[in-house]
């Protein structure tokens, strides 16, 4: 297994980047972090998903002497990373409970003989005193703590074993530590520093913007059909994730998509564990599968070519939304975040806020988070500044490619209709739901209304000038702004909140977003690259070649090459080894193993499809 990597002391970070990973430039703050850690410094690294965190410890691992120990919370994640690294010729291994004894013994032997550069390990295994002892006897290059937010007791990924990782400092005071996460909020950052790093560790915080993700938020009308349309128009044959709230919904929607010709699988915590693992493995390995899941599907989904993340229900918080949508487009190619929501969603969220049993301080924070989420959904402005502001980052100007930038929503003066609606809620006794209140405004003559004598109210029929959909839109936006709130008895009623008083008294105006009926987005070509659209045969042939190699080796296709590398092949049409080596993502090992196969594929294509 000895190869170029054994000559550690003489290699530079830039050389490793090029020779092993096949990239010519560092991205963002990678170079700074890598230099700092190679020099023995401790670091906290915050980068969005897809930002390139792994290289921040993988390159120091190859440059510093000794083995780098990488703490990772999920076995599936470790396995994937080790597979990908070995493909690149890196001496990486994992130690976890799922391994056969034989393989474990082999890894332990390689550790003793210094033949491993990166050891991936679950926290509980690292904490096991046996292993600590063994590590104490060998040269350790660094400790990397991946998904470091798992140390936060407030987050939903909390892992109690992460709290004990502080012992690393006691046992290995001179070994640098690097903690990495894509979770942006301030509080989690502080917890990570407190628990996992020395007080003088350097922080490397990157922008959390994900420029390749296009955000689109729409009104929920017929959610399934809207979803299907979106997939057919813009992501046919591509991988994506659809998030739903209930377990039952994930199964129903997956079934329904299958009957409509979109291959889909369901994933939720209630599925039997082998089936769940099977679905996850299929999603990672196959191309063009849609995973319909609850939020149980998430951490460690390292698949780089997820082209869209769709939400059929509102996520819990804006942080959760950002993490979930962040799983799209890790490879840096165009991807989409798509969400539909309606009055019911807003009602439910408001109700959760009201019912929270938390203490006052906590409740205030929850309230703040909730407003942020609703604000993001309802905004008429560019989505990006709204989103980034929530993570303490400012974004100047407009992104130009979110839904609001591309078709700016119109607003209208809704003060008068809003007053009519609020007064109708008041007159009907502040305990009826939106449908009934709107019936009264529209002057509907039905049994429910007669029984309650609501046809005799002064607000009966005063809203005939506007359509039902408009009244629903006004109701939703008043609820989102907190002028209306759920009736706490839990029967779906609405009541006034004090916040609406100035509006009722005419002391302020109200401008609302004009809801347009759900529009179809422009159909787009897959992978959105002009070159692929121009050379569909080349693209298909390269993908088929990748598929064959992946099947032979029993790895996911992206482990052979990412889409970005295939795209570069289409664009650059390499015809010899030297040109092939210059493609992004082609390091020495992959050049040796795969260049010939792909060069043959390109050479075999008739000239016409290459133009």
Residue 140: helix, strand or coil by DSSP? strand
> Does 324 help bind ligand ADP (rule: CB under 6 A)?
no
- Both tokens of residue 413? 């003066």
Residue with smaller CB distance to ligand ADP, 43 or 257: 43
43 vs 217 by CB, closer to ligand ADP: 43
Which structure tokens are listed for 280? 């996850």
DSSP letter for each residue of 52-99: -HHHHHHHHHHHSSSEEEEE-S-HHHHHHHHHHHHHTT--EEEE-TTS
Of positions 23, 57, 267, 580, contacts ligand ADP by CB under 6 A: 23
55 or 290: whose CB is closer to ligand ADP?
55
> What, of Zn ion, ligand ADP, none, does residue 331 touch, CB below 5 to 8 Å by kind?
ligand ADP
- Residue 367 CB burial class (10 angstroms; 0-12, 13-18, ≥19): middle
Q: What does 405 interact with, of Zn ion, ligand ADP, none (CB < 5 to 8 A by kind)?
A: Zn ion
Please choose, out of 20-28, 85-93, 110-118, 195-203, the segment that lies near ligand ADP by the rule CB under 6 A.
Answer: 20-28
Q: What is the residue-wise DSSP string for 352-372?
A: HHHH----HHHHHHHHHHHHH
Query: What does 215 bind: ligand ADP, Zn ion, none (CB cut-off 5 to 8 Å by kind)?
Result: none
State the maximum Cα–Cα separation within the chain, in Å, rounded to a whole number.
90
387 binds Zn ion (CB under 5 A): no
Q: Quick one: 450 exposed, middle or buried, by C-beta within 10 A (0-12, 13-18, 19+)? A: exposed
Nearest to residue 327, comparing CAs of 82, 50, 560? 50
- Burial string for 141-150 (b: 16+ CB within 10 Å, else e) reads bbbbbbbbbb
Q: Minimum Å distance from CB 100 to ligand ADP?
A: 27
Q: Which does 399 bind (CB under 5 to 8 A by kind): ligand ADP, Zn ion, none?
A: Zn ion
Compute the least distance from the CB of residue 414 to Zn ion, in Å: 24
Please identify, among the stretches 22-30, 255-263, 344-352, 542-550, the one whose residues bind ligand ADP according to the rule CB under 6 A: 22-30
| Other Cβ atoms closer than 10 A to 22 | 21
Which residue's CB is nearer to Zn ion, number 215 or number 483? 215
Closest to ligand ADP by CB, 48 or 353 = 48
Contact between 195 and ligand ADP by CB under 6 A: the answer reads no
- Residue 55's binding partner out of ligand ADP, Zn ion, none, with CB under 5 to 8 Å set by partner kind: ligand ADP
- Whether 50 and 35 have beta carbons less than 8 Å apart is answered as no
Selected binder of Zn ion within 405, 415, 504, 528 (CB under 5 A): 405
Does 330 contact ligand ADP by CB under 6 A? Answer: yes
Binding-site partner at residue 53 among ligand ADP, Zn ion, none, CB < 5 to 8 Å by type: ligand ADP
From residue 46 to residue 75, the character string flagging contacts with ligand ADP as x (rule: CB under 6 A) and all else as - is -x-xxxxxxx--------------------
Q: Count of residues binding Zn ion (CB under 5 A)? A: 4
Chosen from Zn ion, ligand ADP, none, partner binding at 23 (C-beta under 5 to 8 Å by type)? ligand ADP
3-state DSSP of 408-433 = CCCEEECHHHHHHHHHHHHHCCCCCC
Tokens of 63: 């440059």
Enumerate residues 208-227 that contact ligand ADP by CB under 6 A.
none
Specify the residue, 386 or 459, whose C-beta has the smaller distance to Zn ion. Answer: 386
Q: How far is the C-alpha of 542 from the C-alpha of 575, rounded, in Å?
A: 14
Query: Can residue 176 be called a binding residue for ligand ADP (CB under 6 A)?
Result: no
- Restricting to residues 557-576, which ones interact with ligand ADP according to CB under 6 A? 562
At its nearest, how many Å lie between ligand ADP and the CB of residue 139? 25
- Sign of the Cα torsion 166, 168, 172, 175 reads negative
Site for ligand ADP (CB under 6 A): how many residues? Answer: 18
382 is a site residue for Zn ion (CB under 5 A): yes
475 contact, one of Zn ion, ligand ADP, none, CB 5-8 Å limit per kind:
none
Cβ proximity to Zn ion, 253 vs 388, nearer residue:
388
Query: Contact with Zn ion (CB under 5 A): which of 111, 309, 402, 478?
Result: 402
Q: Which two tokens stand for residue 232?
A: 């057919």
Question: Is 26 an interacting residue with respect to ligand ADP (CB under 6 A)?
Answer: yes
Shorter beta-carbon distance to ligand ADP: residue 50 or 315: 50
Residue from 141, 144, 178, 399 in contact with Zn ion (CB under 5 A)? 399
Told to check if 213 binds Zn ion by CB under 5 A, we report no
Query: Which residues are CB-contacts of 247 (< 8 A; sequence separation ≥ 6)?
Result: 268, 269, 270, 294
CA angle 374, 348, 468 (to 5 degrees): 80
Query: 480 touches which of ligand ADP, Zn ion, none (CB within 5 to 8 A by kind)?
Result: none
Beta carbons of 201 and 193 less than 8 angstroms apart? yes
Which range in 15-23, 399-407, 478-486, 526-534 contacts Zn ion by CB under 5 A? 399-407
* Min dist. Cβ of residue 148 to ligand ADP (A): 12
User: Is 120 a binder of ligand ADP (CB under 6 A)?
Assistant: no
> Which C-beta is closer to ligand ADP: that of 159 or that of 303?
303
**Residue reference for tokens 């390269």:** 542
Q: Footprint of ligand ADP on residues 245-264 (CB under 6 A)?
A: none
Span 281-310, contacts to ligand ADP by CB under 6 A = 304
Number of CB atoms found within 10 A of residue 79's CB: 17
CB atoms inside a 10 Å sphere around CB 199: 7
Residue 149 binds ligand ADP (CB under 6 A): no
Q: Torsion over CA of 120, 126, 131 and 134, rounded to 10 degrees?
A: 70
337 lies in the site for Zn ion, by CB under 5 A = no
Residues 591, 577: Cα–Cα separation, whole Å? 8
In terms of Cα–Cα distance, which of 238, 246, 233, 245 is closest to 264? 238
Cα dihedral 456, 459, 460, 462, rounded to 10, equals 150
Whichever of 49 and 477 has its CB closer to ligand ADP, that residue is: 49
> Beta strand pairing status for 213-219 and 335-341?
parallel
- Shortest distance, position 380 Cβ to Zn ion, whole Å: 11
Edge-to-edge order in the sheet of strand 335-341: 213-219, 335-341, 306-311, 239-243, 290-293, 264-267
The contact set with Zn ion (CB under 5 A) reads 382, 399, 402, 405
Which positions touch ligand ADP (CB under 6 A)? 23, 25-27, 30, 47, 49-55, 304, 330-331, 562, 584
């Amino acid at each position: 297994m000895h190869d170029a990597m054994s000559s550690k002391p003489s290699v530079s970070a830039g050389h490793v980047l090029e020779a092993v990973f096949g990239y010519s430039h560092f991205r963002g703050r990678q170079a700074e972090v890598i230099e700092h850690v190679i020099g023995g410094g401790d670091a906290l690294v915050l980068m969005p998903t897809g930002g390139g965190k792994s290289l921040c410890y993988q390159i120091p691992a190859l440059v510093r002497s000794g083995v780098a120990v990488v703490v990772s919370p999920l076995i599936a994640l470790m396995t994937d990373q080790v597979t990908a690294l070995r493909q690149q010729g890196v001496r990486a291994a994992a130690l976890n409970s799922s391994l056969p004894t034989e393989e474990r013994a082999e890894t332990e032997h390689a550790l003793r003989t210094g033949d491993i550069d990166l050891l991936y390990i679950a926290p509980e295994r690292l904490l096991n005193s046996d292993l600590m002892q063994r590590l104490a006897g060998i040269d350790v290059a660094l400790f990397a703590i991946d998904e470091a937010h798992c140390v936060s007791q407030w987050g939903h990924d909390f892992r109690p074993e992460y709290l004990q990782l502080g012992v690393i400092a006691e046992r290995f005071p001179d070994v640098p530590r690097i903690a990495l996460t894509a979770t942006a909020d301030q509080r989690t950052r502080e917890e990570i520093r407190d628990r996992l790093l020395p007080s003088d560790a350097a922080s490397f915080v990157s922008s959390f913007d994900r420029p390749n993700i296009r955000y689109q938020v729409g009104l929920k009308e017929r959610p399934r059909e809207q979803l299907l349309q979106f997939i057919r128009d813009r992501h046919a044959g591509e991988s994506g994730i659809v998030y739903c709230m209930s377990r039952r919904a994930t199964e129903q929607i997956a079934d329904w998509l299958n009957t409509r010709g979109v291959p889909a699988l369901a994933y939720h915590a209630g599925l039997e564990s082998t089936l769940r693992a099977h679905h996850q493995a299929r999603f990672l390995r196959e191309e063009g599968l849609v995973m319909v899941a609850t939020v149980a599907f998430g951490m460690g989904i390292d698949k780089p070519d997820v082209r869209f993340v769709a939400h059929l229900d509102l996520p819990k918080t804006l942080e959760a939304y950002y993490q979930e949508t962040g799983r799209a487009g890790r490879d840096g190619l165009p991807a989409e975040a798509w969400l539909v929501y309606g009055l019911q969603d807003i009602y439910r969220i408001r109700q959760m806020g009201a019912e929270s049993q938390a203490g006052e301080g906590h409740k205030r924070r929850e309230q703040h988070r909730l407003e942020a989420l609703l604000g993001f959904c309802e905004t008429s402005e560019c989505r990006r500044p709204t989103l980034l502001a929530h993570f303490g980052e400012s974004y100047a100007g407009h992104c130009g490619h979110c839904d609001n930038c591309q078709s700016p929503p119109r607003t209208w003066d809704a003060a008068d209709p809003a007053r009519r609606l609020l007064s109708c809620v008041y007159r009907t006794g502040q305990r009826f739901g939106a449908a009934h209140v709107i019936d009264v405004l529209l002057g509907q003559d039905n049994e429910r209304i007669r029984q309650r004598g609501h046809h005799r109210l002064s607000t009966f029929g005063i809203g005939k000038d506007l359509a039902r959909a408009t009244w629903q839109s006004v109701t939703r936006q008043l609820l989102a702004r907190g002028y209306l709130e759920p009736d706490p008895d839990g029967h779906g009623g609405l009541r006034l909140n004090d916040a609406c008083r100035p509006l009722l008294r005419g002391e302020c105006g109200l401008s609302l977003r004009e809801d347009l009926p759900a529009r179809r987005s422009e159909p787009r070509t897959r992978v959105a690259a002009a070159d692929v659209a121009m050379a569909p045969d080349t693209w298909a042939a390269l993908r088929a070649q990748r598929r064959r190699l992946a099947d032979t080796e029993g790895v996911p296709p992206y482990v052979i090459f990412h889409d970005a590398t295939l795209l570069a092949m289409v664009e650059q049409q390499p015809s010899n080894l030297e040109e092939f080596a210059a493609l992004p993502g082609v390091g020495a090992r992959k050049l040796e193993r795969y260049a010939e196969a792909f060069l043959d594929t390109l050479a075999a294509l008739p000239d016409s499809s290459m133009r």
